């Protein structure tokens, strides 16, 4: 019965979200059909390939963390590390949503600079690191440091508008791609270790 309840709840929430979006689109957007507009067809097969790969990497961490949190919270609800896994799911989930839905770009409709959104996320990230600093020290934190440094480098390149053509694109895109990969690897390893330690203690 509990599984049926969650399935029904998820479907009801999706239905309510759809209704609200349709009402919003009817009032403020040119077309409701735009809600189901397919992604732009790439002009050639590899167009956007690495951008989409980065987005997939970004989705791995929140999915793994949320799934692991549900398992860990069921197996050992008293474990303090569960909060870190949940916090990680939320912060990486927010980052993934931003990358897929381009929230920092869309925010320019309401505020002229996309960098305000980036600064807000940077503050949230800093708070997250400070809150869970002691836990980070018990994990392979070098991987997440590499990921954050590479992402920061990519954002800096984007902010500087170097105007170097293809070279600028590579300077931004390649570090972002490796940042996404290392983000996924870090949380995969952390969640694996947490689950393994619970299983071995049983």
Mean pLDDT along residues 69-84: 91
Q: In the prediction, which pLDDT does 198 show?
A: 86
Find, among 183, 198, 186, the residue nearest to 54 by Cα.
183
The DSSP H or E segment spanning 111 is none
User: What proportion of the chain, given as a percentage, has pLDDT over 70?
Assistant: 97
- Taking the C-alpha atoms of 126, 131, 132 and 134 in order, what is their torsion angle to the nearest 10 degrees? 110
Q: In the prediction, which pLDDT does 37 show?
A: 83
Residue that wins the pLDDT comparison between 108 and 4: 4
pLDDT at 131 over 70: yes
Q: In the prediction, which pLDDT does 121 show?
A: 85
Residue that wins the pLDDT comparison between 166 and 72: 72
pLDDT tens per residue across span 160-169? 877 777 888 8
Q: In the prediction, which pLDDT does 114 show?
A: 66
Find, among 93, 31, 104, the residue nearest to 58 by Cα.
93
**In the chain, where do the E strands start and end?**
none
Q: For the chain, what is the largest distance between any 2 Cα atoms, rounded to a whole number of angstroms? A: 59
Identify the weakest region by mean pLDDT among 22-26, 143-147, 163-167.
Answer: 163-167
Residue 41 pLDDT grade (very low, low, confident, very high; cuts 50, 70, 90): confident
Mean pLDDT along residues 31-38: 83
pLDDT tens per residue across span 169-194? 899 899 999 999 999 999 999 999 99
pTM: 0.87
How wide is the angle at C-alpha 145 spanned by C-alphas 143 and 151, nearest 5°?
Answer: 105
DSSP 164: -
CA-to-CA distance for 54 and 11, rounded, in angstroms?
Answer: 29
Q: In the prediction, which pLDDT does 90 show?
A: 95
Q: In the prediction, which pLDDT does 62 show?
A: 97
- Helices and strands (DSSP H and E) totals, the chain: 8, 0
CB-CB contact of 127 with 120 (8 Å): no
Mean pLDDT along residues 136-159: 91
CB-CB contact of 73 with 82 (8 Å): yes
Residue that wins the pLDDT comparison between 100 and 166: 100
Find, among 170, 66, 159, 29, the residue nearest to 104 by Cα.
159
Mean pLDDT along residues 94-103: 88
């Amino acid at each position: 019965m509990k599984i049926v309840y969650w399935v029904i709840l998820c479907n009801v929430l999706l239905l309510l979200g759809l209704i609200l979006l349709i009402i919003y689109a009817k009032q403020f957007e040119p077309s409701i059909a735009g809600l189901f507009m397919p992604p732009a067809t790439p002009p050639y097969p590899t167009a956007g390939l690495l951008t989409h790969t980065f987005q997939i990497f970004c989705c791995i961490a929140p999915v793994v963390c949320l799934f692991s949190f549900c398992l860990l919270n069921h197996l050992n609800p008293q474990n303090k590390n569960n909060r870190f896994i949940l916090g990680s799911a939320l912060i990486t989930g927010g980052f993934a949503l931003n990358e897929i839905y381009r929230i920092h770009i869309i925010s320019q409709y309401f505020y002229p600079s996309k960098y305000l959104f980036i600064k807000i996320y940077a503050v949230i990230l800093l708070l997250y690191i400070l809150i869970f600093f002691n836990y980070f020290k018990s994990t392979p934190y070098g991987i997440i440091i590499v990921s954050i440094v590479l992402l920061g480098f990519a954002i800096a390149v984007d902010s500087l508008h170097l105007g170097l053509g293809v070279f600028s694109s590579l300077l931004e895109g390649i570090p972002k791609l490796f940042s996404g990969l290392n983000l996924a690897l870090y949380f995969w390893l952390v969640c694996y270790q947490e689950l393994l330690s619970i299983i071995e203690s049983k």
